[in-house]
Structures are given as C-alpha cells and as structure tokens.
Chain A
Amino acid sequence: MSKSEQFEPRIIAFCCNWCGYAGADLAGASGYRYPANIVIIRVMCSGRVDPMFILRAFQFGADGVMVIGCHPGDCHYGKGNFFTLRRVKILKRLLEQFGINPKRLRLEWVSAAEGEKFARVVNEFVNEIKKLGPSPLKKR
C-alpha cells in the first residue's frame, strides 16, 4: 500500500466544555502535535453525551468515538462524569454484542491543565484505530 492510500480514520471526540475542551485548547496553545483525524464536538458536560450520539456517530461511518471528560470528582456539575462512566461501560458491552470491536469507543479523563495528556491520548487512539482498520459500518 502506498503512502497516499494509507487508511486515515475519522474519529469523533465529544469533549466536555470545562476539562476536555480546555485541555485541547491548551494542547494547541502549548504546541503539542496531535493528528487531524479527530473531529472535536464540544458539549457542556460529558454527561450530556447521549448513547444515541455515539451510536449515530458509528452509523454515519465514524471509525472510532472518544468521550473526554473531567477526572472523577472534578465534574463542574457534580456527578456528570459518573453517569458517563457507567454509560460507556454498558455501551462497550453493547457494541461487543453487535460485533463491533469495543476498542473503537474510548473514555478518557483529561483535565484543563493536561494539554500534554490530551495530545498523547489522541495519538494513542488514532494509532490503535489505524491498526483496527475501517469500521464495518462504513459505506464503501
């Protein structure tokens, strides 16, 4: 496979306004590099991410979905990220039963001060999805 034909995944990341998005901001401001495969969607809280958003992202051909929120206990709204944690855990099992690799969904805690962690996590995830190949739901 030549370099131009290399598989470039399309990844949706739901970032919470207070931590994940601020972390992404800091990563940009501090000059950390992370791949352009990632499309960031800002939500007010990671608890706002309805499981349907994630399923729809897969339906429309996303190769991977990331949910990035505050560290447990740091949620701006109190308990939002505890909801997300449980939803993502059940959703992973659901995806597994549907025959979709649960590694395509990832939950990460990134605080507003962790620009370096944001870049590292995104790099890791993109490399992992590149290894997994395109999503089976992708229309060719």
Chain B
Amino acid sequence: MKKKLAIVSLSGICGGCETVLGVVIEKIEELFDLVYAPMFVDSQDFSDADVFIVIGPVETKEDVEILEKIRKLNKPVYAFGTCAAYGGIPGLINLYGLDETVVEIYKNRTKSGLVPSRDVPKPLKFVDLVANHVNVVSFIPGCPPLVDKVPEFLEAVAKGEKFVLPEKSVCDVCPLEKKGKSEITRILLINEVDPNEIDWNRCLLEQGILCMGPATRALCDAHCPQRRMPCFGCMGPISEKMDQGASALKAIASVLVNVDIEEIKKKLKDAVGLFYKFSLPSSILKHKWEDTK
C-alpha cells in the first residue's frame, strides 16, 4: 500500500521548492497518495497522512502551531530545501529581527505606511529552523534542490529511511582548473567582474572572485562555477557539525593572504551576507545580539 504524503509549506516560502516537486509529480504519484499539498491537491486536512515533507523556514506563530499539530500526529517528518534545513535566504532577517523587518518593509517603504495587524499571524522574534520544533528524520538542501536528486530523496521518504548526503565540498566536484597557488592582490565582487579579463576555465577564487565553494556541500555538481557564477553556498555547510560562514571565512582569508587589509575591509563590508547567505539561523551565533557599545 502506498503511504499517504502531506506536503506542508510554511509562511516564508518563495515557491521554488514546490515547483521542483511539481516537476517530479509523476514520481510522487507513483510512490505516494498525496493527501495534503496546497499547490497540487484541494484538501484542507493533513491529519490522516503517514509522512510529512515540510518546506520553508519558521517565521510566524501560525507556523509554530502547524508544526505543533504535526508533532502530535507522531509521524516521520522530512525537510525539503535549504529554508527548512538551514534557514535559507529568509534567515538573513535574523540580522534585524522579524518585528523590525515588518516595520521597515510595510511602514518605511510603502506610500500608505500601514503595518498589517489584523488577521495576519504574529511574527516570531527571529527566524527558526523546522528541526527546532519537530524531529526531522532527514533533509535535502538546495535552493531549490536539484531535480535529478529529488527522486532519490522521495524514495528514501517512501522507505522511511535517512537520505544520505555527501560530505564533500563543491570544490571537490568542481571541474575548473585549480593551480593550488594564489597570487591575487585584489578582490572582485561579482558585479565588478569584466568577463573578458577572467579565465573561465580556472578556479574563480584563485582569480579573486569570492566563491563559497570551499565551505558548501556538493549536492549540485558545481553548476554555478561552470556557468560563470561563483558559488553562493545554497547547499549549506559540508557537514552538520560545521559552521558554513566560519569555514568559508577560513578558506577565503587564506586565499587573500597577499591582499591589502584596507581592501579586504572595504570589499567585505557585508561579511554575514556573503558567508551566511543561506545558513544564518543554523549558524553558531544564530541572530543579532544586544551588546554594550
């Protein structure tokens, strides 16, 4: 008998993960009975599901209530996508806090200046991870996860097994040529790059383009560096014990050993935005802190 699957999307989603699931919908139909998935089927209740796939970060009181309901059903939960696993792009809100962000977006950046207060779920203080609210069996990272890897993940979900992730960095699978020595004296942000100046068959980091490859899990076959973009780190840290930003900082600072310190200070003003773009809520420091000046 097929398992009954519920796909639950929390409030911080963009729709990318659902689109990927839509691409592999035939595989889902083959393996599961879809009982709840607002994107694909018309049903309101997930209480008779056997297994859950959760998408998105935890941002509001409503999300917490949904996860509480899921937890009471005592069924295996899988996280899908970087948001559910590590916090994702919405996790960058943690540098300001959700309350401040809501005021900034709705009050300071709109003409009417009204903050929605009625009939909207209350935001939490900071963006949280699904794993902090329910016991997650395993997860697949990616923003969104690669379509070729999703069927494998769905099979693991159908069997109730853990989805085994590789503990390799993007650099390990990246085909660009690495000479192992860096003599760069400048830093290039991706908007400052002159495409004719760069040797696109050579490692981008060795030419001064900041790339998160050394600190990112290789679940993507290094698609971005091969297509002339540096890695942004969407697959999260290499292993669960690592902090993505710290290991990226370590690797990148070692490459910049010949670069002037003033230039590093100038170009790396947004260090958190570079190193923790996809994994801020799962990092060591997690969110902003109040310290004495």
Contacts and interface: CB of A to CB of B under 8 A. Distances in A.
A82 B95 contact: no
A89 B252 CA distance: 12
14 contacts: A50-B246, A51-B250, A52-B284, A56-B284, A59-B284, A89-B264, A90-B249, A94-B249, A99-B288, A99-B289, A100-B285, A132-B292, A133-B292, A136-B289
A87 B292 contact: no
A113 B272 CA distance: 38
Contacts of A90: 249, 252-253, 264, 268, 271
A93 B254 contact: no
Interface in B252-293: 252-254, 256-257, 259, 261, 264-265, 268-272, 275, 284-285, 287-293
A46 to B, nearest CB: 13
B271 A86 contact: no
B63 interface: no
Closest 3 CB pairs of A and B: A52-B246, A99-B288, A136-B289
Given A97-B95, A99-B290, A83 B271 contact: no
Nearest to A131: B292
Nearest to A135: B291
Interface of A: 50-52, 55-56, 58-59, 79, 82-83, 85-87, 89-91, 93-94, 97-101, 104, 132-133, 135-137
Interface of B: 95, 242-243, 245-247, 249-250, 252-254, 256-257, 259, 261, 264-265, 268-272, 275, 284-285, 287-293
Classify the interface of chain A: helix, strand, loop or mixed: helix
Contacts of B293: 101
B212 to A, nearest CB: 14
A97 B247 CA distance: 18
Nearest to A104: B291
**Residue of B254, B270, B291 with most partner-chain A CB within 10 A:** B291
A93 B246 contact: no
A79 B253 CA distance: 12
A63 B250 CA distance: 22
Contacts of A82: 257
